[in-house]
Structure formats: C-alpha cells, structure tokens
Chain A
Amino acid sequence: MKYILKKIATLIMTLFLVSVAAFVAFQIIPGDVVTSILGTEATEEREEQLREELGLNDPPVTRYINWVGDVVKGDLGESYRFSKNMNEMMPVKELIGDKLPVTLWLAAIAVVLIIVISIPLGVFWAKSKSKVLDAVMGVLTQTAMAIPSFFLGILVTYLFGIVFKWFTPGGYVSYQENFWGFMGYLFFPALSVAIPKIAMTARFLRNSMITEMKGDYVRTAYSKGCNDRRVMYLHVLRNAMMPVITFLGMIIAEIVAGSIVVEQVFGLPGIGRLLISSISTRDFPVVQILILYITFVVIFVYFLVDILYRVIDPRISNK
C-alpha cells in the first residue's frame, strides 16, 4: 500500500514536470497564435484585442498557474482554432472527447492481440526442437519486425480490404452508433500496429524461456513427472515472463504514443490527426493537453507493469 502511494506521488511529480516542459516549450518555439488565427491581414487593434481575450498578455507564470488550476478543476481550456458555433470556441474536452476512444481502443486491441498471439507463439517456439521451424520462425519474425507499420497498414488494407473485402478501406463507424462495427474497423489497423510487436515479443519470450529452461527448478519439475507442456506453462512461463513484462510495458507505451501514423493510413479520426494539425496551427491548449494525456498513459502503463512484476515475482516485494 505504502508502495502504491509512493508510486502515485512519483506519477504526480512526473506530470508536473511534463506540464511545465510542455508549457515552456510553446513559449519558446517561434510562431504566433494570433497571426495563425487571424491571418496576416488583420489590424493591430484586432490582434491586440485577441491577445487580451486569450490572456496572452499576462506574465507566463500567471498563465501557467491559471492553466494548471483549470486543468485540475477539469476545465481543459478551449481550442484556438476550432469553434463550436459562431460565438464560442470549441472546448478541448469536447474536441478530444470523441477522438480519444478511437485511439485508446486501437491501442487496447493491439495490446490484446500482442499478448494473445505472442505468448503462445513464444512458448511454442521455445518448445520446438525442430531446426527447420526455428529457422523459419527466425526469418518470419525478423521480417515482421523490420516492416514499418504504415507499410504493413497498406498491405493489410490491400489484402483484407481489397482482395478479401473483409472491411471497407477508409470506412469508419462511430462507437456510439455501432460498437461492434467500430471494433471491426479498428481490428485491422490494430493488427498492423501489433504485428511487428508480436514478432519482437515472441522472440524475446522465446529467448527468455530458453534461458529459464536451463534452471535447476525445471529439472526438479521433470523429476516430479511433469510433462513438457506442464513444465513450460506452469513452471517456466511465469519466470520467463519477468523480462518480457518490462518489454511489453515499453511496447504498450510506444503504441499509445505512436498510433499517429497508422491512424493516418487507415483514415481513423483518432487523436493522432488532431495532434499533427494542432501543432502546425499552434493550437496550444489542445497540444498541451494531448502531451499530458500521452504522458499520463505512459506512466500509468509503467505503474501497472511495476505492480504486475510484484504479483508475478514474490521476491521483489519482499526485498
């Protein structure tokens, strides 16, 4: 319990540092919001008026405190660029609100695919004694690891979308309309995200298992009369998972932060697109919130990995 509190404190500290960094970065990088909103033709008075409205004339520290204060209260600010109607700007919350689930579900499906496929694959690979299979797996995983996911995306679109017609390329249904249809559209993008990671994880798990199989406790398990399968799944796997879990944590963090490209390829309205367009138009309130969100997810995943580590290996929590 004490450990979890410590972890939460660390999480808050990290978020604080990242929020400062995100805020400061947009003070430093060139490019003026007002110009990007109004265009170069605007009068000076209009620019000054907008500056005042957005609070840009306040000193940076005041602005930072105001911003963080609002975020903590749940007010994520308003976009500089998107308007809700004639008089109001779009709140960031609403803007992100319907895009976030797309990205999160995409990542979640990819993670499930990685875990569900790579673990049995890694175990199977480690267990096999066939040299041919070993070589084939080696080449396959190496290839899968080497292909960039956007290209995989194109291949998957071609194969499953155009040849097999299992889904409509570029199509999309909102999760509010049809949840399972939505999941169906996310499946293939998630698959292209997952394939290289599946190859990496399976390879990693296989090596880890082969190392663990040399352990004395494996010999003990055989001496009790366990068969290969039981030894693999009940004895070796759990110990071999230790390094793999750290690796999975890193991969998951990477997927959450890095789904931008795949979203573009499949035309999914996730936060990836929003992030890119917001950066180019200096829509700081949106970008800052997205940075914080990504940071939060990454740290949270590491936090879960840490907890999982303790659950799997009793030696850690007792040290």
Chain B
Amino acid sequence: MIKIENLSVAFDGTEVVKKLSLTIADGEIVGVVGESGSGKSVTALTMMGLVSEEATITSGKIWYDDTLLLEAGKPRDKALYRSFQGSKMSMIFQEPMTSLNPTKRVGNQVEEMLKLHTTDLTAKQMKEKVLEAFLSVGLKDAERVYECYPHQLSGGMRQRVMIAMAIILHPGLVVADEPTTALDVSVQSQIIRLLRKINKEQKNSMLFITHDLNLAKRLCNRVVVMKDGNVVESGTVNEIFDHPKEEYTRKLIEAVPSREKKMQRFSMNVGDIQNANGQNMPLQRPDILEVKDLNVSYMDGSNSLFSSKKKKQVVTGATFTMKQGEILGLVGESGCGKTTLSKAILGMNKDVEGSIIHHSNQPQMIFQDPYSSLNPAKTIGWLLQEPLRAAGLRDKQFEMTKADREAAAFDMLHKVGLSDKYFYRKSSQLSGGQRQRISIAQALITRPGLVIADEPVSALDVTIQAQIMELMRKLQEEMKLSFLFISHDINVIYQMSDRIMVMKEGRIVEIGETQEIFDNPKEAYTKQLLAEV
C-alpha cells in the first residue's frame, strides 16, 4: 500500500532521516515510536508532502500503491500530491486547538474536504455528510458542533473533529502524529478506541506516530522503533515488546513507567522500626503541611466598567496533611484544580478561604516546561544563585556572601548530576533534561522542606523522564524533602509517590497509600482513572 524506500531527508545539510525504508500494508496499523529528534515526524510529513520547503530529499522514493509520489532529486509534484492529500491520505495532528483554523466554524472546516475533492454534492448533501462523519466519531450533538468554533469545544471534541475531517473521504491511509499527547488520559483512551474502530470499519491503513510505547502497544499491529533518523528495530507488537532484540528498544521499554516493577523506595523506611512480626512500623513523622477546608477561587470576567466580576471557585473544601519526607502524588485531569491548589499552597493565589499551615520554610516549585521557565538571558550560575539572593533580601538571616552563594550553586549543580562547566552556560545551550535538572536545583538550593513539582516530567522523553524521576527520588532522600508531586500520568505517580491524592472538579475525591489506592480504589472516578492506562 505504502512503500518508503531508502528515504533520507536533510535540513541545512544535516540528515534527520537516514535511509529509512518502511512499508504499510492494507488495513494495517503501523506504529512509529521514538524520542524527540528521532525523525519520526519528519518521515510522516515527508510522506504526506507537508515537510517544509527547506528540507531536501537526498535519497529514496515514496510509493502509494502504484503511484510514485516522491523521488529524490525531483521537485515535489504539488498537483499530484494535492490529488492525494485529504482524499487518499490524510493526517491527524498533535494539537487539535492550533491545528484547526480558529476563525472558521469546524463544520465548514470539515466540509472543505468535500469541497476540495468532490464535485457532485449539493450544499445540503455536504452538510449531511459532515454531520454523519461527526456522529461516526462520537460527536453526538453533531448539529451544534457543526456551528461551533474550535475554542468552543473541549480538547477531546476538537480531536474528534480532526479525525472526522481525516476520515470523511475514506482515505486509504491515515497518518496520526501524536494524536493523544495533548489530551487528558481518559480522553486519550477514547481517542485510541475510536482510531481502532475506524480502522476496523473503514479498513484503512494507519501510521501512528508516538513517543508513548504503551499507546503503540495498545493500538498497533506492527511497530518501528526510530532513533536519530534510523530504524533501530521493527517487528510485530509482540516481537518488539516481549522480545526486543536491540539494546535501545529494551532501554526504551524499561524507561516507561509501569505498575509492574515499582522501584525500590527507601525513604519511608529509613528509621522505621520493625515490629515483632517483621512488619514495618511507621515512625511518627511531624507534619510539614496542613491544609484545612481550603476554598480557592479566582476572578472571572472582563475588566469592564459595567459588568461585575464573577468569582469562580476552583478548589472546594480541600483538606489534607503532608508528613515530613513524604511524596504525595496528586492526580486529576486538566482543569481539576491541581495547579490552582498548588499555587494556593505557595501563596501565589490570595483569594483563599480556609487554612494552610506550613511547618517548613518557604516552599519551592518545579515547573513543567523547562524551556520557558528558565530566563534565557542569564547564565545557569546566576539563575541558581537568584533564589538565595531573593531570600537574603527578604530576610536578613538568609543573607550570604557572594563566595558562599557560588559555593552553594556549585554544590547544587553536582547534586543534580551536572559538572562545573554548566555554571557558565545559558539555558539555550542545554537539553530538555539538563534544563529540568537546573529547575530542580533552583528549587532546592534554598533547602526548602516542601517542594511542589507540577508535572515535572511531562514534557520530557521517556528515557530522560526516568532519569529525572530517579534524580528526584535520590535528592528527596538526601535532603529529606517532602514532595507534592503533580502529574496526569498515573504510572508516573505510582512510581514516585508514597501516598496518592485524586482530584476531580476541584474536590479531593480520594486520598490514601499508593498501593492501597491501586489495589482497592474506592471511588468510581479513581477506578476509571486507573483503568484508562
């Protein structure tokens, strides 16, 4: 059906895809997995004829059935491609919000497919077909959705619209580039199920690109593992996941946080006394944080002279305590109030009712995106010292000399596993993983008792993710830290936390020991959350 032969794609003379060969049979779902920079997206975009003009095809050919779509050395035949794009091959992208035109109704956007590739339909028939497509992807209120603009739909609905658009002409090939990465876990599963259903009904081939091995395992027939533009290994799902031949594949699979092999955690056991039966008796630990009946709200509405502001309550009646040296995992879908709660604990949101009692000095925060949360204009050394300077300005007792500050910064740099030379670099010279190490160092340099980590590994590749989680655990033990660890990934939470707190729509629905929650979830919502993965 699709045959890619010896494909090489270069940007500015650097090859990002190297002599790649790939075939997709009729009705088959092929997964391409790999970390960022492995060339998986460039491969898909090249195949779709969407790769940017700066890219040069240095070798290879791409066939669709018997049609030669692309050949190295020849200019891209745009007209030929246009007759395939949409009708015979279509694509679903990662970010449904930005991938849909924000100023056009989604119905019209889907309809455009019909306008471009069919000639015999009346306006009324087109609309009917669009509504049909909406229903087939599970958009029940099709009439209303038709009239909506992208921003009026939820993330999952937007992605369904994208899928409806991709399949409305029953193309032979659907390329899905990280279609669930931007979505919540529960929505993620629905989308995966939907893709499988479409594959079954329409018998189209699919190319599924993902960094998430679990997803590839659930959806695909065959998997291709890519690294640095090369195919490392390919085979059926069973071959790849159960009997990986290559070292890299094995490493990748091991790095995925799972529920089977919980990494050994010592911290809670340190100092625990074993009772006569050999069971651990937990030592009484002092509380580090007490939150009681906490309501958090923020002001909604425009800054207008005439309309009064509305208060929107985001967190309702949150009550929990955290012990010293504990990692408390906080899970919930986007919009459930996780971040609002953590900001309230940090004192960044003033509109709170109830009480928050800290038994530690200034808590610190680690953010999700290490790219945007580090000031690009400053050196790493300066960034690391900044919290110390700020503390000194706030309170005379924390004042330090320049030499002491620098020593502390170097010390912290070593603690997070980076060498001295990074002290003089700027964040733009670092990789994502290194940046997140710096973020962690920045949060820990003032030696806070409590650290809030808001999705600290979500933006990272799996292998890096595993390293950062390892690092956080190590530091937690060394420095006797308490972590409030926020994540939407239930498996990451499982690996990291001593206890788990589940939030839904601003309320804490369940809180308990990690193993206990996983083995015997009490709330329906928790069960649903656990079942998704």
Contacts and interface: CB of A to CB of B under 8 A. Distances in A.
Interface of A: 6, 9, 129, 215-217, 219-227, 234-235, 238-239, 312-315, 318-319
B181 to A, nearest CB: 13
B151 A227 contact: no
A313 B104 CA distance: 9
B102 interface: yes
A49 B235 CA distance: 107
A128 to B, nearest CB: 13
B100 A225 contact: no
A312 B84 contact: no
Nearest to A220: B99
B331 to A, nearest CB: 29
Contacts, number: 81
Contacts of B116: 224-226
A226 to B, nearest CB: 7
A217 B86 CA distance: 14
Interface residues of B, number: 36
A312 B151 contact: no
Nearest to A236: B101
A216 B93 contact: yes
Contacts of B91: 220, 223
B82 A227 contact: yes
Contacts of B81: 225
Most buried by B among A223, A235, A239, A315: A223
A253 to B, nearest CB: 23
B444 interface: no
Given A224-B112, A319-B302, A217 B50 contact: no
Interface string B91-131: 10101001111111000000011001100000000000000
A314 B106 CA distance: 12
B83 interface: yes
Given A215-B98, A220-B93, A223-B48, A312 B103 contact: yes
B342 interface: no
A6 B304 contact: yes
A239 B50 contact: no
B418 to A, nearest CB: 33
A227 B49 CA distance: 12
A319 B86 CA distance: 33
A290 B206 CA distance: 68
15 contacts: A6-B305, A129-B53, A216-B98, A217-B100, A217-B101, A219-B93, A220-B100, A222-B50, A223-B85, A223-B90, A224-B116, A235-B104, A238-B104, A315-B103, A319-B302
B500 interface: no
Nearest to A239: B103
B167 interface: no
Contacts of B117: 225
B515 interface: no
B266 interface: no
Identify which of A224, A227, A235 gathers the most chain B CB atoms within 10 Å of its CB: A224
Given A226-B112, A318-B151, A221 B306 contact: no
Contacts of B152: 314, 318
B518 interface: no
A219 B85 contact: no
Contacts of A219: 50, 93, 99
Contacts of B149: 314-315, 318
Nearest to B305: A6
A318 B102 CA distance: 13
A224 B90 contact: yes
A216 B103 contact: no
B481 interface: no
Contacts of A227: 78, 82
Interface string B139-168: 000000000010110000000001001000
A250 B50 CA distance: 38
B526 interface: no
A318 B90 CA distance: 31
B61 to A, nearest CB: 21
Nearest to A226: B116
B85 A225 contact: yes
A314 B112 contact: no
Interface string B297-308: 000001011100
B87 interface: yes
Contacts of B87: 225
A222 B112 CA distance: 12
Contacts of B84: 225
A238 B103 CA distance: 7
A137 to B, nearest CB: 20
A6 B101 contact: no
A129 B78 CA distance: 16
A217 B85 contact: no
Given A223-B91, A315-B149, A318-B151, 20 more contacts: A129-B53, A215-B98, A216-B99, A217-B101, A219-B50, A220-B91, A220-B165, A223-B85, A223-B90, A224-B90, A224-B112, A225-B81, A225-B82, A225-B83, A227-B78, A235-B101, A239-B103, A312-B103, A315-B102, A315-B151
Contacts of B82: 225-227
A239 B102 contact: yes
Contact of B50 (A6, A223, A313): A223
A306 B386 CA distance: 43
Contacts of B50: 219, 222-223
A238 B108 CA distance: 15
